Amino acid sequence: MPLDLSDRVQTVPPSGIRRFFEIAEERDDVISLGVGEPDFATPWAARDAAIASLEVGKTSYTANRGKRELRERIADYVADGFDLEYDPADEIIVTAGASEAVDLAFRALVDPGDTVAIAQPSYISYEPGVIFAGGEVCSVPTSKADEFTLTVEALESAGADEADLLVLCYPNNPTGAVMSEAELEPIAEFAREHDLTVLSDEIYAELTYNGSHTSIATLEGMRERTIVFNGFSKAHAMTGLRLGYALGPPKAINAMNKIHQYTMLSAPTTAQHAAIEALDSCDEEVREMVAQYDRRRQFVLSRFREIGLDVFEAKGAFYCFPEVPDGWTAEEFAEGVLREEGVAVVPGDVFGAGGEGHLRVSYATGLNDLREALDRIETFVEEHV
Amino acid sequence: MSEREVLELLRENARYSTADIARMTDLDESEVATAIDDLEAAGVVQGYQAVVDWDELEEERVRAEVELNVRLDRETGYDDIAERLARFPEVTALRLVSGDYDFDMEVEGDSIREVSQFISEKVAPVPEITQTVTHYVMTSYKENGIEFGDGEEDDRLSFSP
């Protein structure tokens, strides 16, 4: 074979949801609750700013770390919203989506043979990211019994005390779990005690219902060992504009910037102009979207309970995580509702250890579609369970 | 505050069932029903109607926005004139407004001829009315907060991380 692929690439299996795409394409009446992106359009002011920047020809590279103006706005935003104090000069880097920021962190911090503990179930890209960087993954399963929060017991029994890094994602994709300050405190202590660097993906921070978001980086002694990720995809409905950022100590951010400047050079310029405007003037739209998600969240949770599927009280992001009935695997159930009822949901095991037996149901879809989709799931349950 | 929330949801879609609203607001179904009854009884909720895009219907429906100027005298006030005009079934909305004219009136009919006749024969002769300016609606893009369009397709991937 003329092309000899790297072992790292070959090690990573294809996405567990690829097969579902093909089934979904066989029907034309599929309601998708399988999407991890907002159904709202980017607020107009942000779109206008992007258009205006194009009209005046602002289409060249920006500073590698992102426009200074944007980094300053981000510093103000995270300080006001989440008590995170970072210097725009050397503690913030703007990236092409939070995904790039996560990848940069793995490549900047992971040496071959290093172990990265990942609290799971979680966003599907962490594990491949670790493998591409040459590291090894230590899965730390969370469970419904602990409301899908990470505990020290789980870290210990998974052997995470031997790890070099720990990846957290709260509010969580796919469970919708959040972690309070009291729940994060022992995790922070564990990280300090075992000298773990923490990568905290907080892209859903703004989508925290009935309470405020706490970043682990705000806890004592954590700022110097934590990198926080966030971005504009979720709360600002800017998925396609590809804009995220990382916050961390200068040593880490400078190392990440080194990789970024040799690969991406700088995040998309048009998107950076949109993001400045999004932070300047779109608070009202963000609040309105969050309120809509919250209503849908309550609707979906309540419907699942009526249908008779156990569901954990998701408090963040835009997902809920019901259990499949006894005797079913998540994959069988998800395939069944897709084939018979045309409702797309994602089996929880795709998101790693702890996700088995659950479904990820996204409510980033209009209420009428949600109502119809849940009626169809009810029909499926009545007929088969 | 829950009354306000119920009101917002009814404004969004008056066909949400009390069960739907209960699911969205964390209220009991009976609390939602009571809130709706109270809003109706207090006259806050005056009725429920469909928002119609007439352009999507085969048959013709003509609508016009009419500016009305009136002259008041000692015996006749705005409310008296409004009462008289609002009684016509052709009038679907009537508002006293500030600015260059006094009343903003919406009229509906089955043809331009019908609407024109109504204005010239029923409205213009009202003694206090000094001027009418009629604007026929050509296309409606948004009504009652609902944007009209072809119902944009959701072109997001059916599954995404």
Residue closest to A245 by CA, chosen among A127, A76, A124, A112: A76
Tell me how crowded residue B30 is: count the other CB atoms within 10 A of its CB: 10
Q: Are residues A73 and A187 in the same domain?
A: yes
Structure tokens at A253: 């951010």
Helix (H, G, I), strand (E, B) or coil at A101: helix
Sign of CA dihedral A227, A233, A239, A243: negative
Structure tokens at B39: 């809003």
Residue B157 sits at the chain A interface (C-beta within 8 Å):
yes
Q: Are residues A338 and A371 in the same domain?
A: yes
Residue A203 sits at the chain B interface (C-beta within 8 Å):
no
B-chain CB neighbours of A39 within 8 Å are: 154, 156
User: How do A226-231 and A197-201 pair as beta strands?
Assistant: parallel
Q: How far apart are CA A7 and CA A10, in angstroms?
A: 5
Q: How far apart are CA A66 and CA A245, in angstroms?
A: 9
Q: How far apart are CA A126 and CA A144, in angstroms?
A: 21
What is the percent of chain B where pLDDT is above 90?
A: 82
Question: Would you tell me the crossing angle of helices A97-109 and A250-263 to the nearest 10 degrees?
Answer: 110
Q: Are residues A120 and A229 in the same domain?
A: yes
Q: Which helix (H) or strand (E) is B136 found in, with range?
A: strand B129-136
CB A197 within 8 A of CB A109: yes
Query: Which residues, in sequence order, are bridge partners of residue A118?
Result: A139, A167
Interface of B with A in 15-74 (CB under 8 A): 16, 20, 22-26
Residue with tokens 């020809």: A57
Q: Which residues of A265-278 are buried (b: 16+ CB within 10 A; e: fewer)?
A: ebbbbbbbbbbbbb
Residue closest to B119 by CA, chosen among B130, B133, B138: B133
Q: Are residues A276 and A290 in the same domain?
A: no
Q: How far apart are CA A109 and CA A44, in angstroms?
A: 38
Q: Is residue A2 part of a domain?
A: no
Task: Give yes or no for residue B151 having a pLDDT over 90.
Answer: no
Interface of A with B in 123-142 (CB under 8 A): 123-125
pLDDT for position B118: 98
Q: Are residues A297 and A313 in the same domain?
A: yes
- Report, as an integer, the average pLDDT of A159-182: 98
Minimum CA–CA partner of B16 in chain A:
A368
Q: Are residues A240 and A323 in the same domain?
A: no
Q: pTM of the predicted model, to two decimals?
A: 0.93
For A359, phi then psi, to 5°, come to -125, 140
Residues 6+ apart with CB under 8 A from B73: B128
Comparing CB atoms, the residue among B13, B23, B158 nearest residue A344 is B158
B-chain CB neighbours of A299 within 8 Å are: 20, 23-24
Evaluate the omega torsion of the peptide bond into residue A325 and state whether it is cis, within 30 degrees of 0.
no
Q: How confident is the model at residue B154 (pLDDT cuts 50, 70, 90)?
A: confident
As a whole number of Å, the CA-based R_g of chain B is 21
| Number of domains within chain A | 2
pLDDT for position A19: 86
pLDDT for position A2: 82
Q: Are residues A219 and A175 in the same domain?
A: yes
Q: Are residues A160 and A258 in the same domain?
A: yes
The gap from C-alpha A207 to its chain's centroid, in whole angstroms, comes to: 11
CB contact under 8 A, B160 and A371: no
Residues 6+ apart with CB under 8 A from A262: none
pLDDT for position A15: 81
Q: Are residues A172 and A292 in the same domain?
A: no
Task: Give yes or no for residue B1 having a pLDDT over 70.
Answer: no
Q: How confident is the model at residue B149 (pLDDT cuts 50, 70, 90)?
A: confident
Q: Is residue A70 part of a domain?
A: yes
Tell me how crowded residue B138 is: count the other CB atoms within 10 A of its CB: 7
Residue A17 sits at the chain B interface (C-beta within 8 Å):
yes
- The count of residues in chain B is 161
Q: Is residue A47 part of a domain?
A: no
Question: Of A254, A281, A308, which residue is a domain's last?
Answer: A281
DSSP string, A293-308: HHHHHHHHHHHHHHHT
pLDDT for position A347: 97
Residue B155 sits at the chain A interface (C-beta within 8 Å):
no
Q: How far apart are CA A255 and CA B152, in angstroms?
A: 44
Q: Are residues A241 and A292 in the same domain?
A: no
Work out the minimum CA distance from B83 to partner chain A, whole angstroms: 39
Alpha helix (H) residue ranges in A180-328: 181-193, 250-263, 269-281, 283-307
Residue closest to A293 by CA, chosen among A203, A373, A365: A365
What digits encode the pLDDT tens for the residues A4-63? 999 999 999 888 788 898 899 888 899 999 999 999 999 999 999 999 999 999 999 999
Q: Is residue A321 part of a domain?
A: yes
Task: Give yes or no for residue A131 having a pLDDT over 80.
Answer: yes
Q: How far apart are CA A173 and CA A35, in angstroms?
A: 11
Q: How confident is the model at residue B136 (pLDDT cuts 50, 70, 90)?
A: very high
Minimum CA–CA partner of B17 in chain A:
A371
Q: Is residue A51 part of a domain?
A: no
DSSP string, A217-243: GGSTTTGGGEEEEEESSSTT--GGG--
CB contact under 8 A, B24 and A37: no
Residue closest to A178 by CA, chosen among A153, A146, A154: A146
Distances (CA, A) of A115 to A134, A145, A152, A199, B107: 9, 26, 17, 13, 73
- Could you tell me the CATH number of the domain that includes residue A24? 3.90.1150.10
Distances (CA, A) of A93 to A64, A102, A111, A170: 8, 11, 22, 21
The gap from C-alpha A171 to its chain's centroid, in whole angstroms, comes to: 8
A-chain CB neighbours of B158 within 8 Å are: 20-21, 24, 30, 32, 34-35, 344
Q: Are residues A186 and A69 in the same domain?
A: yes
Structure tokens at A15: 């996405």
Q: Are residues A164 and A259 in the same domain?
A: yes
- Stronger pLDDT, A95 or A210, i.e. the higher one: A95
pLDDT for position A137: 97
- Could you tell me the CATH number of the domain that includes residue A113? 3.40.640.10
Which DSSP state fits B122? I
Q: Is residue A248 part of a domain?
A: yes
Domain range holding A144?
Answer: 59-281
Structure tokens at A87: 């210097």
Question: Of A247, A281, A315, which residue is a domain's last?
Answer: A281
CB contact under 8 A, B9 and A295: yes
Task: Give yes or no for residue A257 having a pLDDT over 70.
Answer: yes
Structure tokens at A218: 């705000």
Q: Is residue A360 part of a domain?
A: yes
Question: Of A257, A281, A305, which residue is a domain's last?
Answer: A281
CB A137 within 8 A of CB A352: no
What is the percent of chain A where pLDDT is above 90?
A: 94
Q: Is residue A226 part of a domain?
A: yes
What digits encode the pLDDT tens for the residues A264-292? 999 999 999 999 999 999 999 999 999 99
What digits encode the pLDDT tens for the residues B3-60? 999 999 999 999 999 999 999 998 999 999 999 999 999 999 999 999 999 988 888 8
What digits encode the pLDDT tens for the residues A195-223? 999 999 999 999 999 889 999 999 999 99
- The count of residues in chain A is 385
